[in-house]
Amino acid sequence: MATVDDLRQWISANESFLSGTTALVALAGLVLSPIGKAVRRMIVPRRTDAPVGAGLALRPDKSGQVAALAVGATGLAASNEPILAVLPFDNLSSDPEMQFFSDGVSEEIIQRLSRGAGLAVIGRASSFQFRGERKAEAARTLGCTHVLDGSIRRTGGRVRISAHLVDAPSSRTLWSDRYDRGTEDIFEVQDDISESIAGALHRAFSRPTTQAIDPAVYDLYLRACPHSYAPDELRTSLGLLEVVTQRALQFADAWGRLAYVRAWRSFYQPFADRPASASQVATEAARALALDPGNADALAAQLFILPAFGRFLEGEAALERLRRAPGSAHGRAYVGWYLRTTGRIRESLEETERAYRLNTLDPMTANTLALARMAAGRVADAIPVYEELLVRVPGMSFPVSSLLRAHALQQDWAAVDRMLELAARRELREFQDGLPFIRAKRDPTPENIGAWRSALEANVRGTGGVDVAQLVYAAHLGLVDLAYQLAGTACLGPTGTSDDIMGPDAYRTSLMFMSGMPEMRNDPRFAQLCARLGLVEFWMTTGQWPDCADEVPYDFRAECARVQHIPKDEFWPRTVRGPKS
């Protein structure tokens, strides 16, 4: 077992890798484990019309703080269910570094409570936005019915931990307690809190017990939570989590987050390198699930490493496992993300809105919400979410490219100009190829459309492959026949060249079902393309048809039945294929 000094020496040796961070004392084992179904007997559900976190757009105020502004989405607190926000415990010690100790307490409480029967818990990325004086805003902004808060004071070898549960509408304290212990007995406090809460709420959660973890190791785990999802950030998080799992072999959450981050990092690797990464992800996810079968991050990682198309039946099985996972971990945001790949746009929006209401301030959850809204044709509702992300997470590239497309679809060219100026100063990475489409849509002269067509044809000739998103763009610009001509002769996935598309949505089928781009779907040849991608097999086997089945101007189901014999393309490795018939 590594000592704190071991970890500090490692961090000192890798200071630049950790971007100047230092290992601080955090807490792993201090949790509220025995809260269960009887929460309903103590936390009385009620209705409220207070503003909620589901539909927030954030803007900086004059002081530079980020303030929440409602943008008109349905709120959590409008239901009869209790919604709990666990705020970061205050550090009352003279040592500011003890804040990570305090955050560790709140982190574990969220993980435990979110797995309770019927209890909705706001995600860490949202509730941890409220510290100090801003805690007074938490209930109103997040739309929760109850708030769990506390404080930690450390003096010498003693630590005092206070916790209290408050009914938000009435500001009435429902439960509180205080614990004084020596630091050498810190993990025994878990039993005291568990016993106290159990007496109030009666039934225990089923989540596996977290073994006592070296506080410095737990600190590294807390620091490894991705925010911008930029490749460099993912690489840093990956390095931290590898150390954590080496030092805490039974730490299920760390194994799950490691698998999740590694799977995300692989989206930016050459495709030839991804099988090795996928093997590591599978091993790490299996380790997490052996310790905790409901670990949502590990389940999401298993979904990520499946090919972008061709194996939708396997993907659906992985998706169902993720749907059943308790809690509000990062992985839950991807249920709706994957539903779009098989054309279930309305269901995707419902799932994503639900995940967002439990984690309104998590950047990736917000990004997936905006994508789901755009896919459903609610472009105006997606724009404020993207704009908020630009302010809050400037290192995130996804909102820039998505806002460009959103403004172009609304033909707001002044906004497009502003975004183009911003894009010139930002790294768009895998989204750089979308800029020619934006320009062609803005000024669709024969010359501009012809230039866009020539560039696409030249790219297909040079690489032998095409991303289906490029075909959707071509059809939207009026080049439907060209789109199907290229679809019939090109590979529909990566070909191992430097022109392969990178990123989480590369070669995925989501854009084929976007509400504002129906041109390819409205052509009966769409079914043949879907057969090659494995979608027809999925629809015919499961009966879970895409929304467009009842919207296109032909008998979609009959056309799918007619072409179901067409073999699926392999995703990787692949060779250039001749036309399909």
Q: Which residues pair with 146 in a beta bridge?
A: 84, 167
Amino acid identity at 185: D
- Across residues 88-115, what is the average pLDDT? 74
Asked if domains 4-220 and 227-305 share a fold, the reply is no
Name which of 64-78, 120-134, 310-324 the model is least confident about. Answer: 64-78
List Cα–Cα distances, 316 to 342, 356, 429, 542, 546, in angstroms. Answer: 9, 21, 29, 10, 14
Q: Residue 183 pLDDT > 70, yes or no?
A: no
Model confidence band, residue 50 (pLDDT cutoffs 50, 70, 90): very low
User: What's residue 267's pLDDT?
Assistant: 94
> Does position 265 have pLDDT exceeding 60, yes or no?
yes
For the cut 60, the answer to whether the pLDDT of residue 37 exceeds it is: no
Tens of pLDDT, residue by residue over 402-426, are 898 899 889 999 998 888 887 777 6
Which of 11-15, 495-499, 569-573 shows the lowest per-residue confidence on average (mean pLDDT)? Answer: 11-15
The CATH class, in words, for 4-220 is alpha beta
Q: What is the distance between the alpha carbons of residues 301 and 303, in angstroms, rounded to a whole number? A: 5
pLDDT in tens, 488-530: 989 999 998 888 989 999 999 999 999 999 999 999 999 999 9
Token pair of 182, please?
């020596």
Confidence class for position 482, pLDDT limits 50, 70, 90: very high
Q: Per the structure block, which two tokens stand in for 88?
A: 């970061």
Q: Which of 272, 184, 216 is nearest to 7 (CA)?
A: 216
Question: What is the distance between the alpha carbons of residues 281 and 331, in angstroms, rounded to a whole number?
Answer: 14
Q: What confidence category does residue 11 fall into, taking pLDDT thresholds of 50, 70 and 90?
A: very low
Phi/psi at 57 (nearest 5 deg)? -120, 140
Residue 456 has pLDDT above 50, yes or no: yes
Q: Residue 484 has which token pair?
A: 């199907």
The maximal CA–CA distance of the chain, rounded, in angstroms, is 77
Higher pLDDT, 89 or 377: 377
* Mean pLDDT to the nearest integer, 535-559: 97
Task: pLDDT band for 46, please (50, 70, 90 cuts).
Answer: very low
CA–CA distance, 58 with 62 (Å, rounded to integer): 13
CA 421 to chain centre: 28
pLDDT at residue 327 is higher than 70: no
- What is the crossing angle of helices 435-442 and 413-424, to 10°? 150
pLDDT, mean of residues 308-323: 94
The mean-pLDDT minimum among 209-213, 325-329, 556-560 falls in 209-213
The DSSP code for 477 is T
Is 510:375 a contact under the CB 8 Å cutoff? yes
Closest C-alpha to 439, from 424, 417, 457, 459: 417
The answer to whether 201 touches 177, Cβ cutoff 8 Å, is no
Q: What is the pLDDT of residue 336?
A: 95
Pick one of 1.25.40, 3.30.70, 1.10.3470, 3.40.50 as the CATH number of 227-305.
Answer: 1.25.40
Position 115 scores a pLDDT of 60
Residue 234 CA to residue 280 CA, distance in Å, equals 16
* Rg of the chain on CA atoms, in Å: 25
What is the structure's pLDDT at 80? 54
SS3 content of the chain, % helix, strand, coil (to 5): 55, 10, 40
| pLDDT for position 577 | 38
Q: What is the pLDDT of residue 186?
A: 56
What's the pLDDT tens digit per position in 332-367? 789 999 999 999 999 999 999 988 887 888 899 999
Please give the C-alpha separations between residue 307 and each of 304, 380, 570, in angstroms, as whole numbers.
8, 32, 9
Q: What are the sequence ranges of the domains in the chain?
A: 4-220, 227-305, 452-563
Helical axes 413-424 vs 398-409, angle rounded to 10°: 160
Q: pLDDT averaged over the chain?
A: 78
Q: Is the pLDDT of residue 538 over 50?
A: yes
Secondary structure of residue 69 in the 3-state scheme: strand
**DSSP codes of every residue in 354-395:** HHHHT-TT-HHHHHHHHHHHHHTT-HHHHHHHHHHHHHH-TT
Which residues fall within 8 angstroms of residue 89, CB to CB, at 6 or more apart?
102, 103, 105, 106, 149, 150, 151, 152, 161, 163
